[in-house]
Amino acid sequence: MQIIKRVGIALAWIVGPVFVLAGVNNNDPYLVPLRGIGNLLLVITSVAVVLLLLRRAGWRRRTWAARLLVILWCLPPLAMLAAHGVFEVRKHRVLQTEPVLARSLGQHFIVGYRSFDEVAPLVERGFVAGIYVTRRNVAGRTADALKAEIATLQAMRRAAKLPPLMVATDQEGGIVSHLAPPLTRLPALASLAELAPDEQKAKAEEFGRIHGRDLASLGINLNFAPVLDLRPAAKHNRLDFNTLINQRAISDDPAKVSAIAGAYIHGLESAGVNATVKHFPGLGRVRADTHHFNADLDTPVSELEATDWRPFRDVLSSTGARLMVGHVAVSAVDRGRPASHSKAVIDGLIRKSWNYQDIVMTDDLVMGAIYQHDVCTAVVEALNAGVDLLLVAYDGLQFYRLFACATDAAARGGLDTAMLHDSETRLRRALLVD
């Protein structure tokens, strides 16, 4: 019995700091699964441990070490409460942003959400240009429920005399089919790579039409597909936990990728849904998963132009697709700085060298390659580089932190007004075309 008690006390000393850290970092994207029921369990467990420790010998008769352990287990709920307070203060501050500035900066954000009440104020007051819907928005619901929700949000935009919402999702086919069910589940475009060229294009266009009709029926007008990354040579990358690009890439042949992706986009556009090609500058050669780690692309530009970047240039020149830029750093262009907020990549390479003047957006900024560093710097540099849309998808509540970064930069004159003006022109032109 004495051994069991000692083991229990040892565990309390080990687990207590973990609970405190969970409370302190309650707003961190990595702890999204703890929110809601997880937070309730954290509080209940902390209170139960404190009561159990006090029950053993009370307070006065305890040693200083024992008292310290009790205090330790009182901290997790207090830390969580403090973290929630910080979030609420930031949220209140953002929502008090002067309306003209809110709409000016808000046109650059697409945000994911978990409930209607969470996103409705942002939509109605122009704090965002678009919303991102995914598996969590259809879990336990019908397609009609999501359709009605999107329609209500669009009605709010009309009533507020704001531009229509961009409504985006990830519906690539294969393992990334976030709205299937209830929508049609299709194979990945990679399944078409070995067909004859004419059959490739016909099937790819059919896939695009099916996705387009399904998405348009719900009111979704922007699909984050297709993937243009070249398939990596290695079958499995042990540092790739989430991207899984070897299962999503169409082919390792740039010509096949261009042909299949182009046909798919034409099918998607025929239903009134815009495509978004991704993840420039390409994930096929990198060994780290940018959901969690930094990644560098050390290949010479001349080789990238002939291989990895060929599908991007082919497709962007022949369709109306948007371009999603990932968080991989191109060493030959801007060493150490992710492409998603590199002016040398966005303005120098994409805008000036390639002469691409349509919509450029970032991959989700709530990813380790960005969020584990100075996310404010990333937000400001992306806007100053000519990025049009900043994506906050996985954890939409991080929007308040990122928007505060943008307003703080605006207040101190840290935003490039010429770049913002050019971006606004592109966004308005895109709305007119759509």
Q: How many CB atoms lie within 10 A of CB 109?
A: 22
Q: What is the DSSP letter of 394?
A: S
Q: Are 132 and 110 in contact (CB under 8 A)?
A: yes
Predicted local distance difference test score (pLDDT) of residue 375: 94
Task: Identify the three-state secondary structure at position 365.
Answer: coil
Q: Is the previous residue joined to 266 through a cis bond, with omega within 30 degrees of 0?
A: no
Location of structure tokens 């790819």: 204
pTM of this structure:
0.93
Predicted local distance difference test score (pLDDT) of residue 3: 81
Predicted local distance difference test score (pLDDT) of residue 24: 94
- List, in sequence order, every residue forming a beta bridge with 227; answer none if it has no partner: 278
Rounded to 5°, the CA angle 145-88-380 comes to 90
Report the residue count for the chain.
434
Location of structure tokens 């700091």: 17
Rounded to 5°, the CA angle 299-386-352 comes to 60
Predicted local distance difference test score (pLDDT) of residue 59: 57
Tens-level pLDDT at each residue, the chain (434 residues)? 678 777 888 888 999 999 999 999 999 998 898 888 889 999 999 999 999 888 876 555 668 888 899 899 999 999 999 999 999 999 999 999 999 999 999 999 999 999 999 999 999 999 999 999 999 999 999 999 999 999 999 999 999 999 999 999 999 999 999 999 999 999 999 999 999 999 999 999 999 999 999 999 999 999 999 999 999 876 556 556 667 888 899 999 999 999 999 999 999 999 999 999 999 999 999 988 888 888 899 999 999 999 999 999 999 999 999 999 999 999 999 999 999 999 999 999 999 999 999 999 999 999 988 988 889 999 999 999 999 999 999 999 999 999 999 999 999 999 999 999 999 999 999 987 66
